[in-house]
Chains A and B, each alone.
Chain A
Amino acid sequence: MPVNRSRALVLAAAGSLFLGACSGAGDTDGAAAGATATPVSGGSLTYAVDTEPVSFDIHASPQDITGAIQRNVFDSLVHQDSKGEFHPWLATKWSASKDLKTYTFHLRDDVKFTDGTAFDAEAVKINFDRIVNKSTKSQYASSLLGPYTGTTVVDARTVEVHFSAPVASFLQAASTPYLGFYSPAAIKKYGSKLSAGGAAAVGTGPFEFTSYTKGQSVTLTRNPAYKWAPSTAAHTGPAYLDKLTIRFLSQDATRVGALTSGQVQVADPIPPADVKTVKANSQLQVLTTDAPGANYALVLNTTQKPLDDIRVRRAVLRGIDIDTAVKSVYFGVYKRAWGPISPTTPYYDKALENTWTYDPTLAAKSLDEAGWTGRDSDGYRTKSGKRLSIEWPLMPQEYIREQRDTLGQAIQADLKKLGIEIKRPRLDIGTYIAKVYGGQEGIADYSWARFDPDVLRLYFNSSSDPREGGQNATFYKDADLDKWTDQAQTTLDKNTRQDLYAKTQQRAIDLALEVPLYVRTAVVGVASDVHGLKTDPNTWANFYDTWIGK
């Protein structure tokens, strides 16, 4: 399967937007309280998020937040539920050629963009062609289209999408908002200005993009003509809410304060430190959801000294008191991680749990064996006069989320006890990318949200070289890992995949290629009078079914 569902969720600019269901897997009423009550139409809701999109252009932006907001404005050809099943949406039915190089979609005939333009095969072609156009500068959607060669308009209601190579995951890609559809009229009129959002963002979705005030908010209003919701939705026809305001409150304290003082009804995320306070408030509820994909981890560069020595890597792996650190930084809200991928990701290997507990004695022994036996005046280990020092750069503050810098300080302190110096220079983002993905740093830290274990290939397959856009910042070349992750893609047999992915996860930890730290968790605060919050498989909020009770 091509690497086309990858989402740089955790890389900070792509801030998280996991909204609410009680379980990450259910298309159920998120805010379950009073679920039995009859939905009422009307009212407005304010939703506070921590990230402001740089661009609102779904075809260009790589950001989660863009997709999360625009999900309410743009529809997709198909809808994927949290079990991975596909349902009709703008397409009533579809088929794929045997070689998986051509997909044919039959479109609904009653769909109109909010500017009145009809949604038809031509609109699909115009949008897909726009995505791959160089001037769109697509940073994500184009990768979803992968080896796209073109779209053929068979008739007004039928399109064929062509690829130069098999794309098994295209349906999944097509279900994301990034492959949503702008009104061709809007594309013509606004061209490159689509990134500004506002009136330019004309879609077919349940909400219209009314206005955007930079630094402050986005306002969406109900699309009264909407009647083409996917069948999985709780109701049909227009959305309940008259108005949906999305406020950008990047400061944790401010966002939480806005929720507790009733200025917003939904706030995402709630920082772990405040979860207790919010929970204690009878007017509020907290919904936590584990995210799928790769856990937040220290990715160790195996080509740089001293981490090229597996004994040092193992010392790092066992020398950090992750339990305590994660618990104190995240107040027990986030779970510590035991493997590269999160428990909600398919083929998660539960066997890894509790196999590599904190063991400073073992870590010290490992370092002794590696020859780091000397000590300098600052208490750090040395080998032939050289200090045991590892560089782990910091991104600019604005890209740092979830207090990872604080967690980093705890890790730094733990490793210092062990005699390892962790240096954390602050780099500007250009330098950061050049050095980290150029393999010049000791440690990189990131996570990767993805509803598929193929993330393991992205992380550990040697072909996934960061210098060419991959994510294997371990720079480790292991024949087994390559073989297993490649094979897992060519089969749909669940047992085979289970076996391959389990071996991959175990080997990654065995080789100490990374130090998994915590499972990313969406924590959303919701006012108790908000009902019917829905999430899609990306765990993003869908406000289509949401209504406000009395």
Chain B
Amino acid sequence: MSLPALLRAIVKRLVAALAVLSGAATLAFLTLQLIPGDPVAVMLGPGNAASPEIRAEITHEYGLDRSPAEQYLHYLGNLLGGNLGESYQLQRPVTDLIGDQLWPTVQLALFALLLAVTGAVALAAATAGRHPALRAAASLAELLAASTPAYWTGILLLTAFSFQLRIFPVAGAQDFASLVLPAVTLALSLAGVLAQVLREGLEAALAQPFVVTARARGLSDTAVRLRHALRHAAIPLVTLTGWLTGSLLGGAVLVETVFGRPGIGALTLQAATNKDIPLVIGLVLLSALVFVVLSTVIDLLYLVIDPRLRTR
């Protein structure tokens, strides 16, 4: 790839990223304008003690007395300066809040991803194209994992391993042990879906003529699976993993709630149910950013995995 072409590709991707980000921000802003109810009431919570003067003060301070168009422009202006505003409810800068909560969720997501991908690869590589009974059993297990809501899995795991067996702590994010159950919960459904796709990919790859060629060279079955087929199956795996990683953020909402973990998911739930507009938009932007970054990473991984795509 020539340098100008490379630059063009980079610029193109950046523009696309900006488009997605600003689109998501605008969408969120417009959406939140539709929310009935007064944000000040949200900020003040269910109490009725705040005087009308304080309400007026808050309204003014957050610019809520201005027109939506003004608020939007003001918001965009701040956004360009990297300022996401201040949470209505928590009265702290949105960037601080997100920064504080990001790490536990990233930990959770990465560990879950690791578990899911390892599990899926192991299961798929072991069962693809094998005895039908084995495949059927694996397939059922995968479907079951994919069909079980994470919040239920979490509750069951919690009951079994924390309350009854007391192997893992019941809540929090203070150490590695507390990461295990939430990560397993998130990973299970993920692994189910991934294993299915991966096995299909493997079986498709194993049906390819080059597999016969490879075996004709004296390669063992395992070597064929690992050295040749797995890489082919990795393309759908990467696509799906990328997509599912984005959705882990959503899964975190439920899992963090069940396990009482701090994190982006818990923050999202709090922000959404409290109509904390700046925080919600901040989270939407974060999510969009994750999406953009992930799609870039996926595209790069495609290039790493599949040389045929490199000519583009």
State if A and B touch, Cβ cutoff 8 Å: yes
A residues whose Cβ falls under 8 Å from a Cβ of B = 6, 8, 11-14, 54-55, 62-63, 134-135, 137-140, 142-143, 192-193, 195-196, 213-217, 247-251, 253-255, 257-258, 260-261, 263, 395-399, 428-434, 437, 466, 468-471
Chain A residues with CB under 8 A of B47: 8, 11, 13-14, 62, 139
Which among B38-46, B125-133, B211-219, B230-238 touches the partner chain? B38-46
A-B contact pairs, 10 of them (CB 8 A): A55-B91, A139-B54, A142-B51, A215-B104, A249-B260, A398-B273, A428-B35, A429-B45, A430-B36, A468-B52
User: Is the Cβ of A429 less than 8 Å from the Cβ of B262?
Assistant: no
Q: Which residues of A contact B39 (CB under 8 A)?
A: 430
Is the CB of B258 closer than 8 A to any CB of chain A?
Answer: yes
Q: Is the CB of B170 within 8 A of A254?
A: yes
**A434 and B45 within 8 A (CB):** no
- Does B124 lie at the interface of the complex (its beta carbon under 8 Å from any beta carbon of A)? no
* In the complex, chain A residues whose CB is within 8 Å of the CB of B239: none
Residues on B with C-beta less than 8 A from A257 are 158, 162-163, 170-171
Interface bracket on B = 35 or more
User: Which of A13, A135, A192, A430 is in CB contact (< 8 Å) with B41?
Assistant: A430
Q: What is B's interface to A at a CB cutoff of 8 Å?
A: 35-39, 41-42, 44-54, 57-58, 61, 89-92, 96-97, 100-101, 104, 158, 162-163, 166, 169-174, 256-263, 266-267, 270, 273-275
CA distance A297 to B47 in the complex (A): 16
Q: Which residues of B contact A8 (CB under 8 A)?
A: 46-49
Q: Are A437 and B48 in contact, with the CB atoms below 8 A?
A: yes
Q: Given A430-B36, A431-B36, does the pair A134, B50 have CB atoms closer than 8 Å?
A: no
Q: Which residue of B lies closest to A473 (CB)?
A: B48
Q: Which residues of A contact B256 (CB under 8 A)?
A: 215
Distance in Å from the Cβ of B37 to the closest Cβ of chain A?
A: 3
B162 touches A261 (CB 8 A): yes
Q: Select A469's contact among B50, B101, B169, B170, beta carbons within 8 Å.
A: B50
Q: Which chain B residue shows the least CB distance to A261?
A: B166
Across the interface, do A469 and B162 meet the contact criterion of CB distance under 8 Å?
no
**How far is A260 from B159 in the complex, measured between Cα atoms in Å?**
13
CB < 8 Å: which of B35, B166, B262, B270 contacts A213? B262
In angstroms, how far is the closest chain A Cβ from the Cβ of B248? 17
B37 touches A250 (CB 8 A): no
Complex contact A263–B169 (CB within 8 A): yes
Given A137-B57, A431-B37, A261 and B42 touching (CB < 8 A)?
no
Q: Which residues of chain A come closer than 8 Å to B89, judged between CB atoms? A: 54
Q: Note all chain A residues with C-beta closer than 8 A to B45.
A: 11, 13-14, 54, 62-63, 399, 429
Q: Which residue of A lies closest to B57 (CB)?
A: A134
Residues of A within 8 A of B91 (CB): 55, 192, 195
Bound Cα distance from A292 to B155, whole angstroms? 36
Additional A-B contacts beyond A134-B54, A196-B96, A216-B174 (9; CB < 8 A): A8-B46, A8-B49, A139-B49, A140-B49, A142-B51, A192-B91, A215-B263, A247-B171, A429-B45
CB-defined contacts of B171 to chain A, threshold 8 Å? 247, 249, 251, 254-255, 257-258
CB distance from B120 to the nearest CB of A (A): 29
Q: Closest B-chain residue to A250, C-beta based?
A: B260
| Contact pick for A215, options B42, B101, B158, CB 8 Å | B101
The reply to whether A429 and B37 contact each other, CB–CB distance below 8 Å, is: yes
By a CB distance below 8 angstroms, the chain B residues around A250 are 260
Say yes or no: B170 contacts A263, CB within 8 Å.
yes
A303→B127 CA distance, assembly (Å): 70
A278 CA to B145 CA, complexed, in Å: 34
Contact in complex: B57, A258 (CB < 8 Å):
no
Taking the nearest CB of chain A, how far is it from the CB of B292, in angstroms? 26
Closest 10 A/B residue pairs (Cβ): A215-B262, A430-B37, A430-B41, A257-B170, A13-B45, A8-B47, A254-B171, A216-B262, A254-B260, A11-B46
In the bound complex, residues from chain A placing their C-beta under 8 Å from that of B174 are 216-217
Complex: chain A residue closest to B90, CB-CB: A54
A11 CA to B162 CA, complexed, in Å: 32
CA of A253 to CA of B151 in the docked complex: distance in angstroms? Answer: 14
Write out the residue numbers on chain B whose beta carbons fall within 8 Å of the beta carbon of A6. 49
Contacts of A437 in B (CB 8 A): 48
Q: Are A251 and B258 in contact (CB under 8 A)?
A: yes
Enumerate chain A residues within 8 angstroms of B166, measured Cβ to Cβ.
261
Contact B261–A215 (Cβ < 8 Å):
yes
* A466 nearest CB neighbor, chain B only: B48
Contact call B41/A253, Cβ cutoff below 8 A: no
Q: How far is the CB of A353 from chain B (nearest CB, A)?
A: 30
A466 to B47, CA, bound (A): 11
Assess whether A215 is in contact with B267, with CB atoms less than 8 Å apart.
Answer: yes
- Write out the residue numbers on chain A whose beta carbons fall within 8 Å of the beta carbon of B37: 428-431, 434
Contacts of B172 in A (CB 8 A): 216-217, 247, 249
B54 cross-chain contacts in A, Cβ below 8 A = 134, 137-139, 142
- By beta carbon, the residue of chain A nearest B163 is A257
A143 contacts which chain B residues (CB < 8 A)?
49, 51
Q: For residue A472, give the distance in angstroms from its CB to the closest CB of chain B.
A: 11
Say yes or no: B97 contacts A214, CB within 8 Å: yes
Closest to B39 in A: A430
Q: Which of chain B's residues have a CB closer than 8 A to the CB of A142?
A: 51, 54
CA distance A434 to B38 in the complex (A): 9
Pick the contact of B36: A213, A255, A428 (CB < 8 A).
A428
Give the chain B neighbours of A433 by CB distance below 8 A.
Answer: 41, 46, 48
Q: Are A261 and B169 in contact, CB atoms less than 8 angstroms apart? A: yes
Give the complex CA separation of A13 and B42 in angstroms.
11
Using Cβ atoms and an 8 Å threshold, which residues of chain B touch A253? 158, 163
The answer for the CA separation of A258 and B100 in the assembled complex, in Å, is 24
Residues of A within 8 Å of B275, CB to CB, are 428, 430
Q: How far is the CA of A113 from the CA of B273 in the complex (A)?
A: 38
Q: Within the assembled complex, what's the spacing in Å between the Cα atoms of A138 and B47? A: 13
Return the chain B residue nearest A215 by Cβ: B262
In the complex, residue of chain B having the shortest beta-carbon distance to the beta carbon of A260? B163
In this complex, which of A8, A257, A397 has the most chain B Cβ atoms within 10 angstroms of its Cβ? A257
Contacts of B36 in A (CB 8 A): 428, 430-431
Residue on B with the closest CB to A197? B92
**Contacts A55-B91, A139-B49 given: A258-B58 contact, CB under 8 Å?**
no
Q: Which residues of B contact A399 (CB under 8 A)?
A: 45-46
Kindly list chain A residues whose C-beta atoms are within 8 Å of the C-beta of B48. Answer: 8, 11, 433, 437, 466, 469-471
A430 x B42 contact (CB < 8 A): yes
CB B258 to nearest CB in A, in angstroms, measures 7
Interchain CB contact (< 8 A) of B44 among A139, A249, A261, A431: A139
What's the Cα separation between A396 and B47 when bound, in Å? 13
Chain A residues with CB under 8 A of B260: 248-251, 254
Residues of B within 8 A of A471 (CB): 48
Determine whether the beta carbon of A213 is less than 8 Å from that of B100: yes
Q: What A residues does B262 contact at CB under 8 A?
A: 213-216
- In the complex, what distance in Å separates the CA atom of A62 from the CA atom of B61? 19
Residues of A within 8 A of B257 (CB): 251
| A63 neighbours in B (Cβ, 8 Å) | 45
B residues in contact with A398, CB < 8 Å: 270, 273
Partner of A139, one of B42, B50, B266: B50
The contact of B57 among A135, A193, A469, by CB within 8 Å, is A135
**Bound form: Cα–Cα A434–B172 in Å:** 36
Smallest CB-CB separation from B44: which chain A residue?
A: A139
Determine if B101 and A429 form an interchain contact, defined as CB atoms under 8 angstroms apart: no
